[in-house]
Amino acid sequence: MKVGIIRAPRAEKSVTASAVKAIKAHKAEAWEVDRDGPVSASTSRLKSTTLIITLGGDGTFLAGARLAAPRGIPLLGVNLGRLGFLTELDAHELEAGLKRFFKGDYRIEERNVLQATLTRDKKNIARAIGLNEAVINRAGEARMLRVEIDVGGQAVGVIDADGVMVATATGSTAYALASGGPILEPTLRDLVLVPINPFALTVRPIVFPPGQDITLAVVRGPAELRIDGGRRSRAVQAGDRLRCGSHPRPLKVVRFSPPESFYRRLAEKLGWGRPLVPMK
């Protein structure tokens, strides 16, 4: 058995060393890479990998998800940051968590993964996957964008806004939530379209059922495309089209907590459902 470790750039070396030691104690092989390192450093090792562990925050978990999902490798997130909404364990729980994993005492939770394709002059010029969202934002000093929305070949409408995003259920509690989108139960395969600062008050987020492809056609730009809030963006021109749908392979997330723990996490991490006035 081979276990890969994706660590955040500032992850403490002692935590990484403890993870490697715990993995080897179960007679498994371990390899590790920096989250921000070249992708080639990890891709060559993924073919025979049976588990990927992320050491960091949600950003590191997202990076691990992009590697794990298309290859069907289970992902276990360990939180070394502040929020850790997506991760399953804190650092001090890692050794016990690995013990449970190697005993088979865990469950797999499947998460929908977004697949985005950027087209220019009917040619695919970029393709990427993400666990959270794909965002088209106005670039530089550009004025408000105008974007045409098409779903499954059906024209939905035209939006004037600072940007538009398509998010998964997992991403509904991230940038989409901050932009006024709804919270979706994370195992749903629905996609949600969320306008960013729309000009019209009547423009609101909309949820589409599984199996639908959402196309964003940029009528007025320029703009930029980002996947999962990545540091690197892709230039988008007027006339470009972004097609978003579900990747055929969902992400397999290793969980030790029960399914209903998502709602507890909402309260603990995001403060949802907590009364403003203390209950007597």
Write out the catalytic residue numbers: 58
Residue 145: enclosing H or E segment and its boundaries? Answer: strand 145-151
In the chain, the N- to C-terminal Cα span, in Å, equals: 53
d(CA 66, CA 188): 18
Burial per residue of 130-139, b for 16 or more beta-carbon CB atoms within 10 angstroms, e otherwise? bbbbbbbbbb
H helices present in the chain, as ranges? 13-25, 40-43, 58-68, 94-103, 175-178, 261-265
Specify the DSSP class assigned to residue 267: I
Calpha distance 126→64 (Å, rounded): 20
93, two tokens: 């729980």
Phi (first) and psi of residue 85, to 5 degrees: -70, -35
C-alpha span between 184 and 17 (Å, rounded): 37
Q: CA-to-CA distance for 78 and 87, rounded, in angstroms?
A: 6
Pairing of strands 206-208, 191-196: antiparallel
Measured CA to CA, the distance from residue 2 to residue 144 in angstroms comes to 49
CB-based contacts of 142: which residues, under 8 Å, 6+ apart?
221, 222, 223
> Collapsing DSSP states into helix, strand and coil, what is residue 132?
coil
SS3 at position 6: strand
